[in-house]
A and B are shown apart, each in its own frame.
Chain A
Amino acid sequence: MTAADPPVVVIERLTKRFGEFTALNDLSLTIDAGQILGLIGPNGAGKSTAIRILVGLSRPTSGTARIAGADCVRDARRIKHLVGYMPDQFGSYDNMRVHEYLDFFGAAFGIRPRKRIERIREVMELTGTAGMRDKYVESLSHGMAQRVGIARTLIHDPQVLILDEPANGLDPQARIEMRDLLLKLAAMGKTLLVTSHILPELARICQRIAIITHGTLRAYGTVEEIGRQVSRQRTIEVQLLDAAQVARTAAAVRGAVEPEAEVIEAATEASVRFRSVISDGGLAELLEQLVRDGIRIAQYRELQTDLEEAFMTFARPGATASPVAVTAGK
């Protein structure tokens, strides 16, 4: 993948309306080859609608979506070969063993029996389900079923994987294993679009994040970029050596920042944390003053805005944050 390579997934001004209700509004996004894009948003934000349009299960009202040059509406047949889709519902069949389940989908994709047997072995090894070969699909644990689901999406060796909530309902160990698996797939050159409500997980594996609320793209970029986009306020932490100086420090901070700034005193932790629009110069002056006042400072640092905080900025009821300068497709 070089900078000159075109993006694998290109979504342009995608809109979907159900009568008066707009499920998706003018969504534009791109995903480069080998990248993992995390699509997040509250329930009913339009994530699943966007995914269903991408995999050809739904038609957009306007706009286009292309995967590896194939139009998701006009080239629906090609899209099926290009995309491996794992819906949030597993889609199991009773009385079928795991290898029979994979064999069926391999046959449905027209893979020849000999090649199919080899391919089933490969995807089972890749997803760590080789030991599950003879188990009945309906008897699998949730974590294993998710892995088998991913094995199914890989059976026809698609270029793009679209996974709807792959880590939903998994225990911590299974979640870590799922994260490693997704990273492994990205390292193999697969392009992944993943939705999840487990934001720390997404923050760890995704090169890019897109936040959607009410069908509109609100932020797009790396976690750091989104942090900067969503909030001009900075969070600063002053760690003290002496807990007795917390009150004096807080008073000094209040004098230096704007009146509406939030200042939190944590006497037990001997720290003062504040959120403010203070500039770098203002921070330097505040530090100078604290030292002058005899405050013994162990650490003086700016905390990064995390994904959860960014998400909540958009998702909380009555959020008024206007769409940030979205870099999608640029």
Chain B
Amino acid sequence: MNNPILQREFIGLMRQPRTVALQCALAAGLTLLLALRWPTESHMALSGSRSQELFRLLSYGLLGAVLLMLPVFPATSVVDEKRRGTLALLLNTPLGAWRIYCGKLFATLGLGCVMLALTLPVICACYALGGVSLSGDVLIVYFILGLTALFCSALGLLVSTQAGSIDAAVRWTYGGVLLWSVVTLVPHYFFIGAGGSLGELVGWLRCASPFAAMMDSLGAADVGSRGVASTIDVTRRFTGISLVATLVCAMWTIRRLNHTLLDQSRSTGTVVDDQSLLYRIFRRLMFLVDPNRRSGAIGSFTNPVMVKEFRCRRFGRLHWLLRLVSSCAVLSLALSILTTTRTIEWDVPTIGGILVLLQVALLVLVTPSLTAGLIAGERETGGWVLLQMTPLSVVRIVWGKLLSVLLTLLLVLCATLPGYLVMVYIEPGQRFQVQRVVICLFATAVFSMLSSAAVGSLFRHTAAATVAAYGLLIAVCGVPLLIWLGRDAPFGHDFVEAALTVNPVAAALTVIRLQGFRDYDLIPANWWFLGIGSVVSLIVLLWQTRRLSQPA
């Protein structure tokens, strides 16, 4: 603890109300789980199966908690210092990049350790119930969790040195975590059993995911293994990959932690219109919509706030939207081609399920970062006072802001429609299901947008608003899936169905009849939930915005 940064960051983190709230929530959740699942009959206690079920559930829950809660702290660490101007002071001390990095890394890991320490009583209870071995189960799970925390922290710090704003850092970090933990499993699902270098590559890629390692250590089958046995030591490979990846991230971050972070000239603001004809032609060929072209005046009948939102987000510029939409369209069509060429192996619902998962993942990842800071960002930068000084009404301001997000989300959703069209073409009987899936996705988009905006409007800072919005959406989409993982044991069918009712992902997957979701009937209950949730969120958003715009 003789590193001053470690002292400041760790103690500072522990003093933050959000850290205390996170710890309290974790402790309360675990206590509740233990109380709910504590065996009440003697024969259950003796068999040890109940404690194994609980232990498995806890392990996945803890992994989810580490992946969702921890990355936000390192992701905001450096970029926040840069924004506040304290990074320059820090770099001006004789500490050096190595000690600064270690201070920040170990502070985050310290928090992770505190989080894991909170789980010790409930894990001890599982151990005491029998059926769970210390070296074979408990220590390996904690080892995987430790490696996950280490890589999440290293990744967050790396992104933090590269990002220009807090919300961009949070967005990219969570994107990286999602890519590392979930997307790496997808190729394995498609190319399972493939031999040669492709099979080897897919095998290694799968082993990068902490979920694969956790499933392996808990003795569960691989995701989508479909009975194919695997002799790969996933945990060993995961250890190697995560340690190497952590080292690479650390080296890269330490190399970045110097004056070059601050040694950036101001943008010259060059516009293409003032350049030579040759250059203009070149840009025309490279960009369908050139971001550096001089923009025109906002139209008379256009909501100026909507245009402002598009213009002031780097991601909101049209060329970025076109890139996103193109990627979605290409991905959707690629999945459709796979459907047509390999229908015998993968049925249409499977491909539909993958499409739904990808779309919802995209919605959950993109929406909070676009929406959460709509009001908080204005308050943080002082723009809210300027908006208040214009004759724009609160409803028009909110509508303009929401419209900028809604249009983006609609474009993304529309870009993925070709995949569904191909599905309907192959199997016309799926038409009704596809229609319902599209309704589910639209409802998810609206719910994600309004709930993120409502939660975000309650905060004064964009970072806090973004984290809270991500937390809410992930809780709605992730926690019921965690309960679903424990279906039949320890949770019963009715309990799982009740939990899945709030989950838009599960609703879409039940509609598409994906294996594992066929037994649940979530429509229209889920639509009611999303509808009521959206209306309540809209009311909260308007109420809070109106409150903020009233003279004090």
Residue of A nearest to B168 (CB): A94
Q: Check if B429 is an interface residue, CB within 8 A of chain A.
A: no
Q: Is the CB of B391 within 8 A of A94?
A: no
Residue of B nearest to A112 (CB): B300
CB < 8 Å neighbour of A104 from B267, B269, B307, B551? B307
Q: Is the CB of B297 within 8 A of A107?
A: yes
Residue of A nearest to B304 (CB): A107
CB < 8 Å neighbour of A59 from B268, B382, B389, B552? B552
Q: Check if A181 is an interface residue, CB within 8 A of chain B.
A: no
Chain A residues with CB below 8 A from B387, complex form: 108
Q: A152 and B297 in contact (CB under 8 A), knowing A58-B552, A135-B267? A: no
Q: Check if B299 is an interface residue, CB within 8 A of chain A.
A: yes
Chain A residues with CB below 8 A from B317, complex form: 95
Q: Is the CB of B165 within 8 A of A109?
A: no
Q: Is the CB of A91 within 8 A of B381?
A: yes
CB < 8 Å neighbour of A108 from B165, B297, B299, B392? B392
CB < 8 Å neighbour of B551 from A56, A81, A92, A94? A56
Q: Check if A9 is an interface residue, CB within 8 A of chain B.
A: no
Q: Check if B311 is an interface residue, CB within 8 A of chain A.
A: yes
Interface set, chain A 69-110, CB cutoff 8 A to B: 73, 76-77, 80-81, 83, 85, 87, 89-97, 99-100, 103-110
Chain A residues with CB below 8 A from B84, complex form: none
Residue of B nearest to A132 (CB): B269
Task: Give the distance to chain B from A327, nearest Cβ to Cβ, in Å.
Answer: 30
* Tally of contact residues, B, Cβ under 8 A: 38
Chain B residues with CB below 8 A from A57, complex form: 385, 388-389, 551-552
CB < 8 Å neighbour of A113 from B299, B311, B551? B299
Chain B residues with CB below 8 A from A85, complex form: 385, 389
Task: Give the distance to chain A from B303, nearest Cβ to Cβ, in Å.
Answer: 9
Q: Check if B229 is an interface residue, CB within 8 A of chain A.
A: no
Residue of A nearest to B317 (CB): A95
Q: Check if A55 is an interface residue, CB within 8 A of chain B.
A: yes
Chain B window 158-187, contacts with chain A (Cβ cutoff 8 Å), 1 for yes, 0 for no: 000000010000000000000000000000
Q: A94 and B383 in contact (CB under 8 A), knowing A59-B551, A80-B391, A139-B269? A: no
Q: Check if A134 is an interface residue, CB within 8 A of chain B.
A: yes
Q: Check if B266 is an interface residue, CB within 8 A of chain A.
A: yes
Chain B residues with CB below 8 A from A114, complex form: 297
Bound-state Cα–Cα, A80 to B387, Å: 10
Chain A CB within 10 Å, residue with most, of B298, B382, B389:
B389
Chain A residues with CB below 8 A from B386, complex form: 87, 91, 105, 152
Q: Is the CB of A97 within 8 A of B269?
A: yes
Q: Check if B278 is an interface residue, CB within 8 A of chain A.
A: no
Q: Is the CB of A96 within 8 A of B298?
A: no
Task: Give the distance to chain A from B17, nearest Cβ to Cβ, in Å.
Answer: 24
Q: Is the CB of A116 within 8 A of B297?
A: yes
Chain B window 341-381, contacts with chain A (Cβ cutoff 8 Å), 1 for yes, 0 for no: 00000000000000000000000000000000000000001
Bound-state Cα–Cα, A109 to B381, Å: 20
Q: A139 and B267 in contact (CB under 8 A), knowing A89-B382, A108-B392, A112-B300? A: yes
Chain B residues with CB below 8 A from A90, complex form: 382
Residue of B nearest to A92 (CB): B381
Task: Give the distance to chain B from A140, nearest Cβ to Cβ, in Å.
Answer: 8
Chain B residues with CB below 8 A from A95, complex form: 311-314, 317
Q: Is the CB of B269 within 8 A of A134?
A: yes
Q: Is the CB of A80 within 8 A of B551?
A: no
Q: Is the CB of A77 within 8 A of B382?
A: no
Q: Check if A300 is an interface residue, CB within 8 A of chain B.
A: no
Task: Give the distance to chain B from A160, nearest Cβ to Cβ, in Å.
Answer: 12
Q: Check if B270 is an interface residue, CB within 8 A of chain A.
A: yes
Residue of A nearest to B165 (CB): A94
CB < 8 Å neighbour of B308 from A96, A110, A117? A96
Task: Give the distance to chain B from A74, nearest Cβ to Cβ, in Å.
Answer: 11
Q: Check if B294 is an interface residue, CB within 8 A of chain A.
A: yes
Chain A residues with CB below 8 A from B298, complex form: 103-104, 106-107, 113, 116
Chain A CB within 10 Å, residue with most, of B312, B381, B382:
B312
Residue of B nearest to A60 (CB): B551
Task: Give the distance to chain A from B6, nearest Cβ to Cβ, in Å.
Answer: 32
* Tally of contact residues, A, Cβ under 8 A: 46
Residue of A nearest to B397 (CB): A108
Chain B residues with CB below 8 A from A96, complex form: 308, 311-312
Q: Check if B295 is an interface residue, CB within 8 A of chain A.
A: yes
Q: Is the CB of A94 within 8 A of B312?
A: yes
Q: Is the CB of A105 within 8 A of B390?
A: yes
Task: Give the distance to chain B from A73, nearest Cβ to Cβ, in Å.
Answer: 7
Q: Check if A52 is an interface residue, CB within 8 A of chain B.
A: yes
Q: Is the CB of A93 within 8 A of B551?
A: no
Chain B residues with CB below 8 A from A139, complex form: 266-267, 269
Q: Is the CB of B304 within 8 A of A104?
A: yes
Q: Is the CB of A108 within 8 A of B552?
A: no
Q: Is the CB of B391 within 8 A of A81?
A: yes
Q: A117 and B297 in contact (CB under 8 A), knowing A95-B311, A96-B312, A108-B304? A: yes
Q: Is the CB of A91 within 8 A of B312?
A: no
Bound-state Cα–Cα, A251 to B194, Å: 109
Q: Is the CB of A55 within 8 A of B389?
A: yes
Q: Is the CB of A93 within 8 A of B308?
A: yes
Bound-state Cα–Cα, A270 to B24, Å: 75
Residue of A nearest to B164 (CB): A94
Q: Check if B271 is an interface residue, CB within 8 A of chain A.
A: yes
Interface set, chain B 375-422, CB cutoff 8 A to A: 381-383, 385-392
Q: Is the CB of B267 within 8 A of A136?
A: yes
Q: Is the CB of B269 within 8 A of A136?
A: yes
CB < 8 Å neighbour of A103 from B297, B314, B389, B551? B297
Bound-state Cα–Cα, A136 to B304, Å: 19
Chain A window 117-134, contacts with chain B (Cβ cutoff 8 Å), 1 for yes, 0 for no: 100000000000000101
Chain B window 288-318, contacts with chain A (Cβ cutoff 8 Å), 1 for yes, 0 for no: 0000001111111010110110011110010
Residue of B nearest to A149 (CB): B386
Q: Is the CB of B297 within 8 A of A91?
A: no
Chain A residues with CB below 8 A from B296, complex form: 113
Bound-state Cα–Cα, A108 to B297, Å: 12
Chain A residues with CB below 8 A from B390, complex form: 80, 105, 108-109
Task: Give the distance to chain B from A134, nearest Cβ to Cβ, in Å.
Answer: 4
Q: A109 and B312 in contact (CB under 8 A), knowing A91-B386, A134-B270, A139-B269? A: no
Q: A93 and B312 in contact (CB under 8 A), knowing A55-B389, A107-B307? A: yes
Interface set, chain B 262-286, CB cutoff 8 A to A: 266-271, 274
Bound-state Cα–Cα, A97 to B297, Å: 12
Chain A residues with CB below 8 A from B392, complex form: 108
Chain A residues with CB below 8 A from B311, complex form: 93, 95-96, 100, 104
Q: A134 and B297 in contact (CB under 8 A), knowing A81-B391, A105-B386, A108-B390? A: no
Bound-state Cα–Cα, A139 to B266, Å: 5
Residue of B nearest to A88 (CB): B382
Bound-state Cα–Cα, A76 to B388, Å: 10
Q: Is the CB of A73 within 8 A of B308?
A: no
A-B contact pairs, 26 of them (CB 8 A): A52-B552, A56-B388, A56-B389, A57-B385, A57-B551, A58-B552, A81-B391, A83-B389, A87-B382, A87-B385, A92-B381, A92-B382, A93-B312, A94-B312, A94-B313, A96-B308, A104-B307, A105-B390, A107-B304, A108-B387, A109-B391, A113-B299, A116-B297, A134-B270, A134-B271, A140-B266
**Can you list the 10 inter-chain pairs with the closest CB atoms, starting with the nearest?**
A89-B382, A107-B304, A135-B269, A91-B382, A139-B266, A108-B390, A93-B312, A113-B297, A107-B298, A134-B269
B interface residues with partner A (beta carbon < 8 Å): 165, 266-271, 274, 294-300, 302, 304-305, 307-308, 311-314, 317, 381-383, 385-392, 551-552
With A52-B551, A81-B391, A140-B266 known, 16 other A-B pairs at CB within 8 A are: A55-B389, A56-B389, A91-B383, A93-B381, A95-B311, A97-B271, A99-B294, A100-B295, A103-B295, A103-B297, A108-B390, A109-B391, A134-B270, A135-B267, A135-B268, A139-B266
